[in-house]
Each structure stands twice: as structure tokens, then as C-alpha cells.
Amino acid sequence: MKPLRKLVAFVEQVEKALCAFFALAFTGLIVVNVVLRYVFNRPLYFAEEVSVILMIWMTLLAASLMLGRREMVSVTILTDPLPRRLRRLVAVAVQAITLAVALTFFYWSVQWMRSPASQRDLILAMDVPKWYPYMIVPVFFCLASLKALNNMVSSAVGRE
């Protein structure tokens, strides 16, 4: 499954770059808005909504990155004492469950995005459809599925 590993490595590079960009954009937007608000008394009317969107996108992309690296918080008190083979089996099972959940949520998030209610809802300050920023939800679950599949294969062949 070398192509899968290469794909995941490429996706992680893109995620890192996007997280850095979103963090920089978020910080810059907040600083500019504070200066405009308190120095010129003319705040950006869209700064709050855009900063929230940037933070959500950054958080979900970072969560996907951490999921792929297996750096999420985990409780290993039950698996640590297990023999190596059984620990690998548990790791495969956990990743299979993660994959199933991520795929299920991916499906339902796409259905939600396609619903008329989601299509018509607008971000009031910018008069932009909310489905644009909401796109991170199916993107996140797609990336989480990819990472869970890669982790499951890695665990199965002993490359944890």
C-alpha cells in the first residue's frame, strides 16, 4: 500500500500549509480589525464571521493531521499490557471503527450540504451562502477516512 502512504504524506503537507495559512490569516485579520476598530473607529463588518470560519477550518484540518499521525489523545491503560499481536489487532479494530464512523459522517455531511436548507442559508454580514464554509465538514470526514484507512493498513502490517 505504498501509494496510500504517499497520498497521505502529500495530503499531510497540504494540511500543514493550509493550517499555517489559516493561522496567519486569522491572526492578521484580528490585528487589522483591532487597529481599525480602536484607532480609526471603523471595524471590518465581516471580521468576526471570517475569523470564526478560519478557526474552524484550521481546527478541523489540524485534527485530521493529528489523526493521521496518531497524535490524538488516547487511553492506553487496557492495551499497554497486551501482547504485541493482540495490541496490533486492537489497533486495527479501532481504526476500522474510526473508518466506519468517518465514512458514515462523510455520507451524512454530504447529504446535509446538498439539502435545500443548507443551500439557501446565508452568512448575513457577507451575503455569501453558508455552504462554502460548511464544506470543511465533508472534507474533514473524507480526510479522516483516508487517515483511518492508512492507519488500519499500517497497523495490520506492523508499521505503527
Instruction: Give the model confidence (pLDDT) of 40-80 as tens digits.
Output: 999 998 999 999 999 999 999 999 999 999 888 888 888 88
Cell of residue 69, nine digits: 499521525
Element (H, E) at 145: helix 136-157
What's the pLDDT tens digit per position in 101-150? 999 999 999 999 988 888 888 888 788 888 889 999 999 999 999 999 99
First to last CA, the chain: 14
Domain boundaries, the chain: 2-157
Do the beta carbons of residue 85 and residue 95 sit within 8 Å?
Answer: no
